[in-house]
Structures are given as C-alpha cells and as structure tokens.
Amino acid sequence: MASIVAALGGSLLRPEIENKHVWLDDLISIIRDRVAMGDRLGLVIGGGAPAREGISLVRPLIDDDYHLDKIGIAATRLNATIIREAVSEAGISVSGIIPSSVNEAVQLLEKKPVVIMGGTIPGHTTDAVAIRFAIAANAKKCIIATNVEKVYDEDPRLNPNAESHEYLTHHELQKIVGPAEHEKAGKSSVVDPIGVAEALNARMELNILDGRVSQRIREAMEGDYFLGTVVSSEGKI
C-alpha cells in the first residue's frame, strides 16, 4: 500500500482536445485501479480557466493579490468539486467533502482511500498544496500533472532551443523556477517555487509530466517509467 499525491493542473479540465470526457473517464479508471491495488490517493485540482477568468475580470478593480488569490482558490474548489462528484458517481470511495487545509486532508485520507481538494489559503498555488499534502501524508511521491511534456531550462515558447530534462535534483529545479516567492495571483511557472523549496527540505520526489496524456499519470502512479521529469535528491541514478 502506498500513498500518492498528485496535483492536477486546472487546464487539464478544459483541454483543447475535443474528447475531454475521455480524459475524465481515463482519470476515473486510473483512480479505480489504484484504489483496487490498495493505494491511497490525494488529488489536488488547479483553478484553470475559471481562476484566470475571475482574476482577470476584477484585476483592474482589486490591487491586492491576497484578494485575487481568494478568487483563484474558489475556482480550484469548483474544479475539485467537479472531479469529486464524478469520482463518487463512479462508485469509488472518496471523501465526501473538499478539505480546506492540508491537515484536514491528511485526516480524511486515513478514513477514505481517495481525497480530492483544491487550494487552501492565499500565497501559493495548488502545486505547493499538493507537495505539502504529500509530505504530511508521508506519500511515496508527488506527481505534478501539468501541460508541458518535461521541465525545460527556459520557457520553450520563448526559446525554441531550450533544453528539457528527464532527471533533476531539487536544487537544479530550484535554479530553474527561482526563489520561493508567490508570483502574482493566477500566474505560474512549471512548478510553484514555494512547493519546490518544501520538496527540497523534505526530500520529496516529484514527477512532473504532461497530464493531458492520461497514460503518463497512470504510469507515474504505477511507479513505471513515464515520459516527464523525475526530481529527486539524487537526480539521475
């Protein structure tokens, strides 16, 4: 039995691909299979489109990021509710509420094999929540399912020659994402630098992958080779 925590970026809920219900069906089947194997799963869902829309609508009126963050958090909780309801409807044993803190999530994971949550408090993103959840639940690793194939040393949209990495140490990832500071509400780097600093301290393995390809989430959860970036204390071994 293992505990695994995954951050699922909110953009995955509204993929540009046409058959988005296939992605959701795949996710449900991955969750079902892991629960059948006796694993415990914590899923932390990002805000995606509703977070971006809500924040950009009021940004001209609200100067303080603390308040904009609260809009982002509400969007993450909306998305977590969407996934929770779908998982519950599929007959999988999942916690009945969306916890609002990592402590609450850890307690729920002791009672139910699946806990689904969004953000907690202003000042970071759901990546940092997932990494804290993974550390507090003593999870084997934390999967960060986002919308890039691997971690690049620079933004590949800006530099087509940017180099991608299959293995990184926490320190190397920290150099790429920068210091542990909260970026503006709704803005994000490949992984939240606040979470990276905590993963480094706790030596928590991170698996960063393109969650739009559900098979990669499955492979990372099963512990097999997956296409993406493994971040560990040792780097490549």
CB-side neighbour CA atoms (13 Å) of 231 = 32
Six token digits for residue 21: 């219900």
Among 39, 69, 198, 205, binds ligand UTP (CB under 6 A): 69
Among 3, 92, 108, 120, binds ligand UTP (CB under 6 A): 120
Between CA 21 and CA 102 the distance in angstroms is 29
Q: How does 136-168 read in b/e, with b if 16+ C-beta sit within 10 Å?
A: bbebebbbbbbebbbbbeeeeeeeeeeeebeeb
Piece of the chain touching ligand UTP by CB under 6 A; list 56-64, 100-108, 119-127, 165-173: 119-127
| Residues 6-45 as x/- pattern, contact with ligand UTP by CB under 6 A | ---xxx----------------------------------
Q: For the CA atoms of the chain, what is the radius of gyration?
A: 17
Q: What is the DSSP code (8-state) at residue 94?
A: B
Amino acid at 222: E
Quick one: 11 or 95, whose CB is closer to ligand UTP? 11
Q: Does 126 bind ligand UTP (CB under 6 A)?
A: yes
Quick one: 129 or 221, whose CB is closer to ligand UTP? 129
Q: Does 51 bind ligand UTP (CB under 6 A)?
A: yes
Measured from the CB of residue 82, what is the shortest distance to ligand UTP in angstroms? Answer: 13
Quick one: 127 or 205, whose CB is closer to ligand UTP? 127
